[in-house]
Chain A
Amino acid sequence: MANAAHDLAAASGGVALGDYQLYPEHPLPGLSVGNNVAYRATSRERPELAFFALVCDPAAQPRIDVMPAIRKSAGTALLTPLEWQVVDWPPSARRSVAIVFDRPEDGRFVASLGETVAPLGDEAIIRDYLMPIVSALRALNVAGIVHGAVNPTNLLFREAPRRGVVLGECVSTALAARQPGVFLPIEAALAAPAARGRGQLTDDVFALGATAAFLMLGGNPAAGIPEDDLLRTRIDIGSYGAIIGDRRIPVGIVELLRGLLADDPKLRWSLSEVDEWLISRRFVLRQGIPMRRATRPFEFDGRPYVVPRALSHAFARNSDAAVEAVRSRDFEIWAHRALSDETSIALVKAAQNESAGGGPPNQRDAALVARMCIALDWHAPVRYRTLAAAIDGFGGALASAFLAQAPIQTIAEAIAQRLPQFWLGARSPPPSEHITLLKLFERLRVLLDDGRLGCGIERVLYELNPTLHCLSPLIEKDHVFALAGFLPAIEKHAASRLDGDLFDRHSAAFVAARFKTAASGWVEGLASGDPAERLVSILRVLARLQAHGGPPAVPNLVKWAARQAAPLVDTYHHRPTRQHLTRQFEKAAQAGRLVDLMLIIDNAAEEQRDADGFAEAKRAHAAVAGELSRLAASAVRRPQQAAILAGQMAASFATLVAVAASLAFLAVLVLG
C-alpha cells in the first residue's frame, strides 16, 4: 500500500491531501515540531501561495478533536490547520496524520530556548508580539480551547524580514506535551509532559508571561537551572520570583509580568485584562491570598518544610521514604496542629482514613503517600510512584506509555487504588465536569479488573483517549483513530489472515470504546465459549459498522468470517444443508456484505429444522436397524417357516393337480 502511494505520489508530484499536495522529498526542518516533520505543500486551488504540512509521528497524539473548532474560530494571528487527514506516507511506509498550514515566510523567532537574542524594548514587545499573541489566544479562548504551546520557539514571522508575528500551531502534539516547564504554571509543570490533560485557559496566560520575560531578557530566564531545582524554587518563593529573580525589568511592564506569572490562577490576569492593559496600561490590582504555610516546619529527608506544596512535592519525589514519614506520629501531630487551614487538616485525615484499595502492601503504602500529596496540595496532579498526571491527563500518560512500550503498571495501580477519585473528592463543592470524571474513573476501575477481550487496561486506554489510533499490531500502521477507518483497515489484512484471529486485545478494546451502543454485546460475544455465538457477535458489530458508513463490500473480511464459520457449518447434520450453506458463504463472500453472512450463520430456524430432522432421521435409522436385526434373528426360525410354507405349497399344488385331473377325467367320461 505504501509502495502504491509512493508510486502515486511520484506520478502526480506529491501525496494528495484534499486540495493539497505534499512533497515527501522536500522536508522543511525549520518548521518541524519535534518528531513531527514539516514538508513543503502546495494547493491546487491557490498555487501562488506557500503551504507546509506537518506529518505527525505515530506517538505524537495530535489534537484531532479541536482542529475543526480552531479552523473555524482562529484569525490570522495563529497558524491555523487548513486541512488534515490520515495519508499514506511513503518515507515511513505507513499511514500518518498530516496537517496543512499556511507557510510563514521567515521561520521561527528562535529555533530553541537555548538561543539568545537581543532584548526587545517593552513597546516592541507589546506591539509586535504580545498583541498578536493575545489576539490569537482570545480567539481560542472564545472556543474554549487551550493553546498549550505559547513559547518563543513557537512564534513565527509571516513576512520577511521578521515581520508579522503569528503564534505557532498547537495541534500536532498532545496539549503542552512539548511545552517546557518554565512556561507552565506549577500545577501543570508538576505533571509529566504527556499527562498534562486538557489544561486551563489561564495556563496560556502564564505561558504568555514567561514568553514576555524571554523577549525582554533576550533569552530563557531559567537557562542553566535544572528543571527540578527551578520547580522547587518556584514552589518555595513563587514563579515570578524564581523566573525573574533580581533581573531588571522595565517599570511599566512589571505589573504585567506579575499579573501573568501569578501562581494562583485566581490572581492571574485574564486575557481580557491583559488585552485592556495592552491598550490602556490600566490594570486591576487584586488582593492575593497568601501562600499556605504551616506554623512550624516539618522535617523530611533532612530538610525542613513550611510550605505544604513543597512538602507534597518532596513526598512525591521520594515516595519510599515518605511512607515512613506520613505514618509517623510526628507528621500526624504536625498536620493537625501546624497546618493552618481546615481544608488541609480534613484532607490529611481523609487520606489517612481512606480504605486501602487492595493490592500488595507496597502498593497500599505508595497510595497512602499519593493521597497525602493530594491532601497537602490538592491543585497538583496525581502523583503515584513514577506517575505524575493531571486528573484529565491519565489518558495521555497511558497512551504515552503504550506508544513508548513503557510499563503501564503504575498507571493501572493508580486507577485501581482510586487515587483519581480521591483527587476529585478533595474539591468541595465539586465542579460538574469533576462529577463526570468521577463516574468515568469508577467505570474504568471495573473495566480494569475485567480480564475479558475488549476490557482491561486497553479498554481504559481507548476510553480515556477518544482520538488515539488503534494500537493493534495488525492495523497500527494504518493509523485508525475512528470507527469509520476500522473496517477498511481490517479488510486489508483479512486476506492474509484467513485462518488467524483478526481481533486482539487492542482492536477489541478499540471497538468497545468507540462503538458505545454495541460495546456490551461485543465484549460478551468475544468472551463467549461458543464459537458460533462469538462469531455471530463479531459479525453483528462489523455488519453495523459496514452499514453505518463502512465500505460497501468487504470480500476478504467475509471470506475470513466464512472460514471461521466452517466449523459451524459442520455442526449441521444435514449434508445437503452443509453444501447449501457453503455455497451461500461463497455468494456472500463475492457480494462482500457482512450482514448477508451473519444472516446465514445466525439462522435459528434452520438450526432447529436441522435438529428436528436429525432427530427424525435417528428414529428412522433406528427403525431400519431394528428391522435388520429382526431379519437376522428370523434366520434361525426359517426352517420352521420353510416347513410350514412347504406344506401349504404342497397342499395347494396337490389340490390343483387333483382337481384338474378329476375334471379332465370327468370330461373324458362324459364326452367319451
Chain B
Amino acid sequence: MAKSTAKLAKARGGTGIVPKAAAVAVALAGLAALPVFLILLPGMMPAFVTLFVDRQRPRHLSYTVGVMNFAGVLPFILTLAKNGASLKAAAGVLADPLSWLVMYGAAASGWLICGATPPLARLCLELQATHKRRALEALGKAIREEWGDEVAGAQLPAKERPAAAVQAERDRRP
C-alpha cells in the first residue's frame, strides 16, 4: 500500500527526492551565506515575478528580465562579499534606496528590452521577405523573358501564338 502511494505521488509529479534535495541545499546555502541571500532574495524578486507571470514558451521574457535583474544585483553581492558578507552590510545595502533602484531598474530595463525588440524583429523579417520576393520575381521575369510567357503556363492570345500551335489546337478539338 505504501509502495503504491509513493508511485502515485511520483506519477503526479509530486514531491520527489531531487526537488527536496535542492530545497534543502538552497536552505543550507541560505543559512551558510545569509547576508548574500538576504540581498539576493528581495533583489531578484522582479525576476521571480516575471517567471511566475511569463506564459510564453520559450521563456525569453523571464530570461531577459532575470539576466538584467541579476546584472543589477551582482554588484551589491560582490561588494558585500568583498566587505566580509556581514548582516550589517547587507542591511546597509537593503536600507539604501539606490540599491533598490539599481536592482529593480535593471530588471525594468529587461522589460524595456523585451518591449522594444518585437517591432525591430518584425522590421527585420519584413525586410528579409521583401528581399527574397524581389529576388524570386526577378528570376521568374528572367525565365519568362528567355522562354516566353508560355513557360508560366499562360495561354497567349490566338493572334500572338504561332500558327502551328493554333492549328494543332484546332486539330485537337472534337
Contacts and interface: CB of A to CB of B under 8 A. Distances in A.
Nearest to A631: B133
A647 B56 contact: yes
B96 interface: no
B68 A657 contact: yes
Given A573-B147, A647-B58, A532 B164 contact: yes
B71 A662 contact: yes
B67 A621 contact: no
A396 to B, nearest CB: 42
A489 B64 CA distance: 93
A101 B117 CA distance: 112
B78 interface: yes
Given A567-B162, A645-B125, A650-B117, A575 B146 contact: yes
A569 to B, nearest CB: 8
Interface in A586-621: 613-614, 617-618, 620-621
B64 A650 contact: yes
Given A531-B163, A567-B162, A658-B68, A645 B137 contact: no
Contacts of A449: none
A366 B64 CA distance: 114
A651 B66 CA distance: 10
Contact of B114 (A620, A634, A647): A647
B110 A654 contact: yes
Contacts of A628: 133, 136-137, 140
Nearest to B145: A575
Interface in A638-672: 638-639, 641-643, 645-651, 653-655, 657-659, 661-662, 665-666, 669
B78 A669 contact: yes
B148 interface: yes
Contacts of A361: none
Interface string A351-379: 00000000000000000000000000000
B79 interface: yes
Interface in B41-92: 56, 58, 60-61, 63-65, 67-68, 70-71, 74-75, 78-79, 82
Given A617-B147, A618-B151, A571 B60 contact: no
A631 B126 CA distance: 11
Contacts of B124: 645
B122 interface: yes
B113 A653 contact: yes
A650 B112 CA distance: 9
B152 A621 contact: yes
Contacts of A567: 162-164
A571 B164 contact: yes
B118 A665 contact: no
B121 A643 contact: yes
- With a 10 A CB-CB cut-off, give which of B67, B139, B153 has the most chain A CB atoms: B67
B144 interface: yes
Interface string A551-578: 0000000000000000110110111100
A614 B74 contact: no
Given A530-B164, A650-B61, A651-B63, A631 B129 contact: yes
Interface string B145-174: 111101111000000011111010001000
Contact of A658 (B70, B118, B121, B143): B70
B10 interface: no
B2 interface: no
Task: Give the interface size class of chain A.
Answer: 35 or more
Contacts of A547: none
A646 B79 CA distance: 34
Nearest to A616: B147
B121 A661 contact: no
A571 B117 contact: no
Interface in B93-110: 109-110
B117 A653 contact: yes
Contacts of B79: 669
A406 B82 CA distance: 132
B162 A666 contact: no
B120 interface: yes
B132 interface: yes
A520 B104 CA distance: 101
B77 to A, nearest CB: 11
A658 B140 contact: no
B129 A531 contact: no
Contacts of B60: 646-648, 650-651
Interface string A490-511: 0000000000000000000000
A650 B74 contact: no
A645 B121 contact: yes
Given A532-B164, A654-B110, A631 B136 contact: yes
A628 B132 CA distance: 9
Contacts of B144: 621
Contacts of A651: 60, 63-64, 67
A532 B164 CA distance: 8
A624 B70 CA distance: 49
A666 B163 contact: no
Contacts of A617: 143, 146-147, 151
By Cβ-Cβ distance, the 3 closest A-B pairs, closest first, are A647-B60, A658-B71, A570-B162
Given A576-B146, A646-B121, 9 more contacts: A570-B163, A621-B152, A624-B140, A627-B132, A628-B133, A631-B136, A642-B121, A647-B64, A650-B117
8 contacts: A571-B162, A614-B147, A614-B150, A638-B125, A639-B122, A646-B122, A653-B117, A666-B78
Interface of A: 529-532, 567-568, 570-571, 573-576, 613-614, 617-618, 620-621, 624-625, 627-628, 631, 634-635, 638-639, 641-643, 645-651, 653-655, 657-659, 661-662, 665-666, 669
